[in-house]
Amino acid sequence: MLTVPLPSPQAALIFLYHTVRCVGGLSALIQQSLHQILDLFAQMRAPTDDARFASGISKAFPAFIAGLVALPPDRQACREELESCGPAKAYVDNLRLIELWWEAIDVSGREPADWRDFARSQGCELAFM
């Protein structure tokens, strides 16, 4: 049986570099990891019996982290992955925060200093169930 690897290692790499080391979303390493996540999500949706489909639980964290560093050409794919996590309030709130994050970047031309502080400033609570 063919299995598709989950994008969690790439999401962890982005999280560590972006959150801990303060590496911006334009970094080649971060963009490469983002595209690996999006490629893995595309494989997960492959209409074959051998593909392993991820539930919202396994997609929520990688999809959110991908959204944090997505440039405009990749935002729609990230939005669709976040939406596909399901209708639970936590998933809807994660997407809402990402859209506010993108708006802040588009208005200022740069990323806010820290996404966790940004979430608090927006009154958002995140959950990766």
**129 located within any domain:** no
**25 located within any domain:** yes
Separation of first and last alpha carbons in the chain: 27
> Could you give the number of structural domains in the chain?
1
Average pLDDT, the chain: 85
Output 106 or 7, whichever has higher pLDDT. 106
**128 located within any domain:** no
The domain of 62 spans 8-121
pLDDT tens string 48-60: 544 444 466 788 8
Q: What amino acid is encoded at 51 in this protein?
A: A
pLDDT, position 118: 93
pLDDT, position 49: 45
